[in-house]
Amino acid sequence: MNYYVCLHQEGVNSIPKLIEKAFANNYNVVAISINANMLPFEPYESDPTYPATILSGGDWNSKVIFTMSDVDVDSPNVKLRQHAKDVFMRDVAWAEHLQNVGSVMVRLRGPQNENLASIVRAKTKDQFPLGNWFIQVPITNPELATFEHRKDVSAEELAEAESNDPWNWWNNLRMATKHSTKVKVVVELNDSDRPSKETVRRWLGEPIEAIIIPSSLFVRNRSNYCVLKKEWQVIIGHFISVRANLIISANPNDKALSQYSDYLKKLINENCDTHVLNSYENMLEIPLQPLCENLDTYTYEVFETDPVKYRLYQDAVQAALLDRVSDEEAKTKLTIVMLLGGGRGPLARAVFNAAELSKRKVRLYIIEKNPNAIRTLSNMVKTLWANKDVHIFSKDMRDFSPPELADIMVSELLGSFGDNELSPECLDGALKLLKPDGISIPYKSTSYINPLMSAVLHQNVCQLLPTVPAFDYGYVSLLKNIYHIDEPQALFDFVHPNRAEKIDNTRCKVVSFTVKKDCVLHGIGGYFDTHLYKDICLSINPLTHTAGMFSWFPMFFPTRPRTLREGQTISIKFLRCVDATKVWYEWQVVNSPDDWEHHNTCGTGYNMRL
């Protein structure tokens, strides 16, 4: 991933020299006052101390972030407010002139930002040329730092300052600018107050552009080299992990600039998780429906690159074979294994490996409805499995009449929510393939949900609205910029084989959560875990995620955004509905008496076709 490390300095009167110094010390970008060494007291000053020609148009856009004049356009004093607005609009006009896809950074001074929001909202419409507005917010209330030097601070003053949370300043402005994708947040760290873990986690759910790291956070180690204390390394590492860029704020005469940049690039390398699926982060995808749509070879290939999942399937089959066939019977007793959905063969290989490792005899029936996958499987039988007892059938498992019943039924019909690829319906339909004492691998799956804050996912949902009822869809997404408002809780269980006299796969449950910190609910996260055999499990539940497994991304069920308060209880009603042709989910926040919007009524948006 391409991060930038930015040098932020004030009191510099030559932008080209600052850029030259920054690049010589391994920085990619500079942040500097748009007034460049001129106090912003005269809003009608025609000469802002430098001409547009000192840099090329490309350099203005790619190498410079302008910090706007630190004036209060929301001052309670009418004259000061108007003067500040004149100064600010002069800055905006100059920024528009110099940059057509660049960015400006604006500091939030407190909770009252109505006028600023109005200006930003007006200037973030499609016709406004500037690329982004970076809203600079302190990670904790700066007023708290002043209390360290005061002995007369009352408990009431301290409580009031702690309740004046800068996140709320940002949230009010974000709401007022209608969640614009051009409005991003820059979180400013400070050396007087280290934030709590929950405070940091909450910011990870925001559209973070960068964090500002004052040079005063650095200390000298034994080698006289500038480093960060372990606590700050961890905090900054969390921000790096969600792709936040880094801005160093330093004095113009600082002599350790290159040490700062080198150290931060080392932190980036240590905390930037790079993998083949990076491009899927925060993307919204409609879940696959392999029951009614044939998968292509690219999709199969992506799944097959996950070594953890198939190893655990292999372990499960091996353990089942050892339990069902004693050492004395190993050479004579044949175990019938039925593979429901062969794809391009990875589960078949797992079964054969398990048989070889356990020294048990198996006959494998592969039932696959995708005629294109059958061609690949048939070739594998001829070239790789010619000496195996294996038989392929091009059939839907629900319509298949087997030549003999199975001892073990193996399937991989699990979607990101456990049952969203219709494993209950498929395995119930395939029950006739199994002996009365036969087993299913997997034998149980459980779905989980929890409330999430993710401004980025919300913005992505809104971008789909012109074409589809986007708030009535469930999406698969590699969740990156998210805040878990509370931990996931179990939702629906499905057990296989299901030998109930009357099978009913509809479900309805209300799950309650406690809000840990003021935040915004943007949607519901969906996860699952599954028990393959005995205690051999696969999980994408964040609390128990199987290490190294990436086959399944979580699900995201959007809601209309609302601000929640710390300590508040939020209840989510989730339904799994079934009719003759489809299965679908419905979801609703049911904080009586103010129930929220009911999503996906009658499956008019997202549904799974039978």
What are the catalytic residues? 412, 421
Question: How many alpha carbons lie under 13 Å from residue 41 in its C-beta half-sphere?
Answer: 3
Exposed (0-12), middle (13-18) or buried (19+): which is 447, by Cβ within 10 Å?
buried
How would you classify residue 187: left for phi > 0, otherwise alpha for psi between -120 and 50, otherwise beta?
A: beta
Among 492, 457, 451, 454, residue whose Cα is nearest residue 589: 451
SS3 226: strand
Among 440, 417, 383, residue whose Cα is nearest residue 583: 417
| Residues recorded for the chain | 610
**Rounded-to-10 torsion of CA 586, 591, 593, 597:** -40
Beta-bridge mates of residue 410: 339, 441
Please, are residues 335 and 363 in contact by the beta-carbon 8 Å criterion? yes
Exposed (0-12), middle (13-18) or buried (19+): which is 44, by Cβ within 10 Å?
exposed
Please write down the long-range contacts of 323-331, taking CB distance under 8 Å and 24 or more positions apart.
Answer: 324/407, 324/408, 325/358, 325/360, 325/361, 330/359, 330/360, 330/361, 331/361
Among 488, 540, 541, 484, residue whose Cα is nearest residue 197: 484
- What tokens were used for 585? 């989910």
Structure-token match 């089959």, residue found: 317
Kindly report the backbone phi and psi dihedral angles of residue 105, in degrees, each rounded to the nearest multiple of 5, phi listed first. Answer: -120, 130
SS3 550: coil
Question: How many alpha carbons lie under 13 Å from residue 523 in its C-beta half-sphere?
Answer: 30
